Amino acid sequence: MKFFHRTLPQSVRFGSGSSHTALAAEIEERSAGAVMIIAAASELELAQRIVGELDVRLWWDEVAPHVPIEVAERARAAARESSVDLLVSVGGGSTTGLAKAIALTDGIPIVSIPTTYAGSEATNVWGLTTAARKETGSKDVVLPATVIYDAELTLTLPVDLSVASGLNAIAHCIDSMWAPNSDPINRAMAEEGLRSVAEALPVIAEDPVNLQAREQLLYGAYASAVAFASAGSGLHHKICHVLGGAYDLPHAATHSAVLPQVLNFNVSASEEAEERIARALSASDARSGLEALYQALPSTRALSDVGYERSAIPQSVELILPIVPDSNPRSVTPGDLTEVLERAFTGASIA
Ligand code: NAD
């Protein structure tokens, strides 16, 4: 066994109903005197509940998906004007993304309080959109110093958004099996994340206010994101990045349609991935395990349902081929990619 593994430095405070005390402790330990709370208008009530009587210098609620550069610039200027020394984000990946955009230029530490399962809080990856083009990069300064997880904050997340961001977490786990920096540590973490998310998601689809399942999902989403932050983007994320960018497809639905087909294509070539995924899904094999999970969830299965045209497949293949990671367990020909996209287009079953 020979590998290089990197763990990102981050503290985690996990506990239902404890986000107010956890935030108060963070502010005190960091001697923060000028706190900026970032929460979208729809997340404001949650943020106010967490903050309570704590001293806040600046409230910021202008948040938009994929962090438009204009929004980031306005938030950065406001943070500077108020001499902010601690950023606190309360919300989903879009809100965490805005805090990261401020940290990127201004080096202010972040305490992140996630209210979805997207997992951005556990990565050092930032994203910014300029003139409809999303640029991403990784830099440790954007990694939140502390994450506060409080499952009570996720009880209001509607089932469709819960399933979409839960499947995002599952994609982190499965792609970690063959991503460029995949190693035994992040693969073990990915297996644990997959087990936990896959067990909790169907329960939440039936009973959205089940706190125990919400805790399990949040815990699993964290493990998934840590695995992904360490392993990097594999074939699945490369395909989704191209499709999302070139054809303006919805992020979550694209992931959901592509994931089964990437697993179907890769898994026979990696004995360890087959074993880990099957075990995590309590199934006899990885394909039937993922298929059964999809059957139990209200999720998008076909790219044809999200505005992707079959005629775009040849161009998509050309765009994806040069960025297929060398780490992929199978070599990928144009014919292979065409088949993966054809199957994703129709939402073919993999069992
Ligand atoms: P989101 O942040 O856009 O939130 C979706 C919607 O849910 C918003 O309207 C939000 O206000 C609402 N919401 C959030 N929490 C809620 C709650 N508890 N109750 C009710 N409503 C709630 O979506 P997301 O899936 O969390 O994040 C997606 C974004 O994150 C994408 O831009 C994606 O690229 C990014 N992302 C980044 C990374 C990274 O490592 N940098 C990782 C994963 C995702």
CA atoms of 261 and 342, how far apart (whole Å): 9
Q: Which of 175, 112, 190 is nearest to 144 (CA)?
A: 112
Atom 17 of ligand 1, residue of closest alpha carbon: 157
Spatial distance between the Cα atoms of 2 and 10, rounded to a whole number of angstroms: 25
Query: Rounded mean pLDDT of 207-227?
Result: 98
Measured from CB, residues less than 6 Å from any atom of ligand 1 are 40, 42-43, 65-66, 91-95, 97, 115-116, 118-120, 123, 125, 127, 153-154, 156-157, 161, 165, 251
**Triad 173, 175, 177: Cα angle to 5°:** 80
pLDDT band, very low/low/confident/very high, at 252 (cuts 50, 70, 90): confident
Q: What's the 72 CA to ligand 1 centre distance in angstroms?
A: 16
Which atom, in ligand 1's list, is nearest to the CA of 67? 32
**Terminal-to-terminal C-alpha distance of the chain:** 33
The confidence score (pLDDT) of residue 168 equals: 92
Q: What is the tens place of the pLDDT at every residue in 195-204?
A: 999 999 999 9
How confident is the model over 281-307, as a mean pLDDT? 95
Q: How confident is the model at residue 250 (pLDDT cuts 50, 70, 90)?
A: confident
What's the pLDDT band for 131 if we cut at 50, 70, 90?
confident
What mean pLDDT, rounded, does the chain reach? Answer: 96
Q: Is the pLDDT of residue 162 over 80?
A: yes
pLDDT at 152: 97
- The CA-based angle 319-320-325, given to 5 degrees, is 140
Amino acid, res. 23: L
Distance 84 CA to ligand 1 centre (A): 24
- Is residue 134 very low, low, confident or very high in pLDDT (cuts 50, 70, 90)? confident
Q: What is the pLDDT of residue 300?
A: 86
The alpha-carbon radius of gyration of the chain (Å, integer) is 20
**d(C-alpha 32, C-alpha 92), whole Å:** 23
Asked which of 15-24, 187-196, 241-250, 315-324 is least confident by mean pLDDT, the reply is 241-250
- Lowest mean per-residue pLDDT among 246-250, 289-293, 303-307, 344-348: 246-250
Q: What separation in angstroms does the CA of 191 have from each of 96, 105, 223, 309?
A: 25, 35, 9, 34
Residues 6+ apart with CB under 8 A from 100: 67, 110, 120, 126, 127, 142
Whether pLDDT at 73 is above 90 = yes
